[in-house]
Amino acid sequence: MAHCSNQSIPPHVTVFLLLGFPALQEAPLPLFFTFLALYTLIVVGNVLILVAVVGDPRLHKPMYFFLCNLSVLDILFTTTTVPKMLAMFLFQHNTISFEGCFLQMYSFHTLTVMESFILVVMAYDRYEAICHPLHYPVRMTPQANARLAASAWAMALVIPAPVMVETSQLEYTARATVEHCFCDHLAVVRAACQDAGTEQQTFIGFCIAMTVSLVPLFLVLFSYGKILASVLRIASQEGRAKAFSTCTSHLLVVGTYYSSIAVAYVSYQMEMAIDLHVLSNVIFAILTPMLNPLIYTLRNKDVKEAIKTVFQHVFSHLKNH
């Protein structure tokens, strides 16, 4: 926490100083190229999925509609943080304005909430497909899918807003130091003046984070409990394997997402170097968006074939020109 004088400082005067990785300040270029490579993989991988799903009529199904939502979300999720990190590593641009910091923080946490909601919607889609196959085409119409996605986006936009507004009302020094690579809520609260309501903000932020993580996780597990019960009632081994194979990609994504959340949470509760705290949160911000395209490409035959078709069209076009 920063020590502040009694004189309050108008919020628009505050500039946040992003600390980044203190132990690696002497190696900015390796950091830059590492994160540039990861960001490129994330954008290219998710754009490929979007192009494949949109361009292949075989993939015009609810499951792939929600996968497109996930891909768009992952591109936006990393774009809120990584470009600023790249500028910080390459040009030492480690300051960010008050407004820019809170816009980044709101976007990051909104998209975090959205990711957990989309994973719930995808689990619900698998539940309907496996547990109610005859009613699936009627219940999961394009209009119903659009309403589910729109509801998830709307709730994600609203939930973080009150905490962001309250955090913006805390007192900060004119040059507040954020012990992070980007404006994460807890790191920004820690940059506020002592006795400025930071404990309350930390507690409220923690409660909301746990709610938007654990409630969706419970709903996903509940859906898969129902799916497992339904799959076990299928008589043939081949039928059970075929039914459950449609869920494996989503389960791997869920496992990756919540594992990275657990790593970030544990790191905050432990006494360790700043670099490790920052790294754990950066892993959360990058790991899932990077692995999602790989998981769906390697584990899903239809997506794999569609992406192969995209590459064939591209190479054919280049050859003709």
What are the tens digits of pLDDT across the range 62-114?
A: 988 999 999 999 999 999 999 998 988 888 888 889 999 999 999 999 999 99
Structure tokens at 306: 């569609």
Mean pLDDT for all residues in the chain: 84
Buried b / exposed e over 228-261, threshold 16 CB at 10 Å, is: eebbeeeeeeeebeebbebbebbbbbbebbbebb
Residue corresponding to tokens 């597990």: 221
Residue corresponding to tokens 């792939």: 64
Q: What is the pTM of this model?
A: 0.88
Q: In terms of C-beta density within 10 A (0-12 exposed, 13-18 middle, 19 or more buried), how is residue 274 classed?
A: middle
Domain boundaries, the chain: 11-320
Q: What values do phi and psi take at 235, rounded to 5?
A: -70, -45
Domain 11-320 has CATH 1.20.1070.10: yes
The answer to whether the beta carbons of residues 277 and 267 sit under 8 Å apart is: yes
With bands split at pLDDT 50, 70 and 90, how would you rate the model's confidence at 199? confident
What are the tens digits of pLDDT across the range 217-236?
A: 999 999 999 988 888 887 77
The answer to whether the beta carbons of residues 201 and 166 sit under 8 Å apart is: yes
Residue 64: which of 149, 154, 156, 151 has the closest Cα? 149
Counted residue by residue, the chain has a size of 321
Structure tokens at 214: 């654990």
